[in-house]
Structure 1
Amino acid sequence: MFYLIFLAVAADISAVIISKWTLAKQKLTCNYFNTLIFWSLAGFSALSLYWFGYLDAAEATGLKFLLLFGAMVTLAVWWNWLNTQALWREELDHYELIVMTAPLFTVVASALFLPEEREVKHLLAAIAVSVVLILTHIKKQHFNFSQYDKWLLVAVILIALEAVVVKSLLAVWSPAALYFSRALLVAITFTAIKPVKFSNISKKQWGGVLGVGLFGALFKIIQYVGYDKLGVVSTTMILVLSPFLVLILDKIVLREKLQIKYIFGMLAIGAIIVFTFV
């Protein structure tokens, strides 16, 4: 299971970097991006349904789970729209710093709303990991919040709330079936908001869309498996490595100096994870 989570980290890193490249370098508009990405995510996640797609239809169609499903899709539409706006306009390091607060919000929300997520050792470890992550990356200029930074903060809170809803839905849905259904309905919603003219999409933009779809679907399905098998708090703690590695790879690609605090931060997070699970 833990190997799968680390595979999810690699997939998430790939999806974020390709997303930024598609938006910033290939100039794909946010509305087109959201619509095409979710069709791509739905398509790639559909490939897993034959082996891993199942649900308890009797329970899933009950009022409680239908309301939870509707809440999940609504939260997903809103936070993805806000997130894409920020990713399009912000520098990657600024964007990633705010995204780094997502694990902390997710852990707190899980502890508040999910009694089974209140194991003290894991909860404290996850909070410690989140705080280390933020403290090792914060800079003075990060306190200057633009409009899109504020939107991203709202998105982060919605991400945390969606994680709680997803955990509840996994009682009756398999991770693959739930993510496919989510991606499909979000794709339909974005298509209704902004239909795509396919003739306007270049080959490189299509390449970016398909790349994000492949890695994004892999990441999200494994994340859902983690929520189901390990719990939201434990999965979130391990996935903290993802934004950390995105920044490190960004520095390497741009040939910028890799600060020692990043290395110490990685070691501290690794030590906390090992202490918690070994």
Structure 2
Amino acid sequence: MYIPIIGSIALASGNIFEKFALKKRKIDIFLYQTASFLFILLSMLPFIFFFWKIDKNAFLLKNIFIFILVILCAFFANLFIFKALKSEKLTTLQPIRSFEPIFTVLLAVLFSTFSKDFSFSLKILIPSLIASFAVIFPHIEKEKIVLDKYLIFAFFGSFFFALELVLSKLILQFYSPLTFYFLRCLFIFIFSLLIFRPDFKKLDKKTNLILLFTGIAWVTYRIALYISYDKYGVIFTTTILLLAPILTYILANTFLKEKLNWKNILSSLIIILCVVYLILFK
């Protein structure tokens, strides 16, 4: 049970590092996308030799096609999210970005109609949906969600991330978690490098250090997520990972001085209750 909780901590940390790099360090989003994947790859290099695994079934045409879809979804998801992070406060962006869990749960339910990989029970689904909708609550004002173009970017980014995660579940069994994430990031890095042609000389030493910490956070998060998908299932894992927005609120308030409001607090309490229920009564 501790694995998805570790993933939540890593996810919240990654959010803070990204926000700091994009807004405080004022990095161009195209440079950031390319550089961030470079540092993710560098943080995995010491371990990839020991954990490399690809099953021969990964090379079946169907599974190659799914892998390509995963890469494309991840590429556009990151691009949309980076655009959103460039402008919005994390405490404002997080509820919209957290449409990702709702999309993930609903897509998992949809995929369960034709794949045993997404089996679930109502005992898990109902608290998962309650917690997922609770994340959106802090951004509701006067009976409507106030959107601008940056939050729309976050909305689309969340959908593509959710689709990527659900598609990944279909082929994760053919890779070790580290191998899958390494290959995913390698292809996105190559595409970003060819398309954006960034100037890495614009990155100073402090920014490089932040990017390294960000890379370590994302590797930890994804490895925990992939392991949890296999051990606990997509919907259960998604619900536990909703602890990340709570940690993001706390970290953003502590380090970025972004204010919390009563809606953030109420949302966090609902999520915690749903997570505790799942852990105790799963």
Q: Which structure 2 residues correspond to residues 216-231 of structure 1 after superposition, within 5 A?
A: 216-231=218-233
Q: State the alpha-carbon separation in 1 of the partners of residues 275 and 121 from structure 2.
A: 15
**Percentage of matched positions with identical amino acids:** 29
Correspondence 1:8 to 2:10: no
Where structure 1 has 5 or more consecutive residues not aligned to the other structure, the ranges are none
Structure 2 counterpart of 1:172: 174
Q: Which structure 2 residues correspond to residues 38-57 of structure 1 after superposition, within 5 A?
A: 38-56=37-55
Residue 258 (structure 1) shift? 4.7
Structure 2 counterpart of 1:33: 32
Residue 117 (structure 1) shift? 3.2
Where structure 2 has 5 or more consecutive residues not aligned to the other structure, the ranges are none
Q: State the alpha-carbon separation in 2 of the partners of residues 226 and 34 from structure 1.
A: 26
Secondary structure of 2:174 counterpart: coil
Q: Is the 8 A contact 2:99 2:159 kept in 1?
A: no
Secondary structure of 2:170 counterpart: helix
Structure 2 counterpart of 1:66: 64
Structure 2 counterpart of 1:239: 241
Q: State the alpha-carbon separation in 2 of the partners of residues 213 and 92 from structure 1.
A: 19
Distance 1:263 1:145, change over 3 A: closer
Structure 2 counterpart of 1:111: 109
Q: Which structure 2 residues correspond to residues 98-177 of structure 1 after superposition, within 5 A?
A: 98-114=96-112, 115=115, 116-140=118-142, 143-177=145-179
Structure 2 counterpart of 1:209: 211
Q: Which structure 2 residues correspond to residues 178-189 of structure 1 after superposition, within 5 A?
A: 178-189=180-191
CA RMSD after TM alignment:
2.0
Structure 1 counterpart of 2:80: 82
Residue 144 (structure 1) shift? 2.8
Distance 1:247 1:134, change over 3 A: same
Q: Is the 8 A contact 1:76 1:162 kept in 2?
A: yes
Q: State the alpha-carbon separation in 2 of the partners of residues 196 and 111 from structure 1.
A: 40
Q: Is the 8 A contact 2:139 2:145 kept in 1?
A: no
Distance 1:257 1:79, change over 3 A: closer
TM-score by structure 2 length?
A: 0.91
Secondary structure of 1:196 counterpart: coil
Between stretches 102-111 and 7-16, larger displacement belongs to 7-16
Letter of the aligned partner of 1:54 in structure 2?
K
Structure 1 counterpart of 2:19: 20
- CA deviation map 1:121-172 (0-9, x unaligned): 1111210111222224534597332122212211111111111111001121
Between stretches 68-77 and 147-156, larger displacement belongs to 147-156
Q: State the alpha-carbon separation in 1 of the partners of residues 223 and 246 from structure 2.
A: 21
Q: Is the 8 A contact 1:167 1:227 kept in 2?
A: yes
Q: Is the 8 A contact 2:249 2:260 kept in 1?
A: no
Residue 274 (structure 1) shift? 2.4
Q: Is the 8 A contact 1:45 1:218 kept in 2?
A: no
Q: State the alpha-carbon separation in 2 of the partners of residues 74 and 251 from structure 1.
A: 33
- CA deviation map 1:17-68 (0-9, x unaligned): 1111111111111010000000111221333323433121x20000011000
Distance 1:74 1:274, change over 3 A: same
Q: State the alpha-carbon separation in 2 of the partners of residues 176 and 74 from structure 1.
A: 19
